[in-house]
Amino acid sequence: MIDSLCDQAGGGDIAVVGLYCDFLAQQEQSTTNMLGAIIKQIVSRGRIPEYIREAFKKAKKEFGGRGLRLPDLVEIMKKAVTALPRVFICVDALDESTPKPRRELLESLREIVQVSANTRLFLTGRPHVGDEIMRCFGKVARIPISPSRDDIRSYLEMRLGNDTDPEVMDVELRVDIMRMIPEKVSGM
């Protein structure tokens, strides 16, 4: 999705940024770290804005460089997104983050989209996080994802094509695989 949006943007001032949640890395995925990662991508496009440099210098003096708090990050992010004509923020696998950081992340993002009509969020996750998202944002556009038969056929062809022992595959088995798996799996 990030790449499609980048291609559509065709360079220019449109920022496309992303974040992957991962249940194996939940400890690192604090709300501040996640929001920070989004801001980092937005501002690393050019020269880092002065207000961020100032905040950094100030934090460095206090206790030898303390981190930002969530409200500070939200304010920085508001400034960062309003400097651009369009910002796409993609967050993958929301269900893999723990509930508290997830709620805080969604609420922070809501604050951002409320002040900045140029910001769009692309979120993915298992169906059950949908309720949380609706509660947070109200109306959202929703696309249920299930692989189409063509998707599955393409994938199977790729995997069979990469088979390291193609000689052990007999023709009938291959035909069966290509017929039965797309039928069973599509609409999963």
Partner 1 sequence: MSSEHQQVSGNINPFNNNSFNNNNWFNNTINFNTEINTEGRQILQWLSLLEPQQRHQGVRSDRLDSIGNWVLETNEFRKWSGAEDDCVKPVLFCDGNPGVGKTYLR
Q: What is the CA radius of gyration of the chain?
A: 21
Q: What residues contact 117, with CB distance under 8 A and at least 6 apart?
A: none
Choose between 69 and 170: whose C-beta lies nearer to partner 1.
69
Interior CA angle at 114 toward 109 and 118, to 5°? Answer: 90
CB 172, min distance to partner 1, A: 25
Among 50, 62, 64, 144, binds partner 1 (CB under 8 A): 144
Q: Which is nearer to partner 1, 127 or 166 (CB)?
A: 127
181 interacts with partner 1 by CB under 8 A: no
Site pattern 52..91 for partner 1 (x: CB under 8 A): xx--x--x-----x-xx-------------------x---
Least distance CB 28 / partner 1 (angstroms)? 6
Q: Are residues 182 and 152 in contact, defined by beta-carbon separation less than 8 angstroms?
A: yes
Binds partner 1 (CB under 8 A): choice among 1, 115, 160, 169 = 1
Nearest to 149 by CA among 188, 95, 116: 188
Candidates 104, 95, 89; CA nearest to 30 is 104
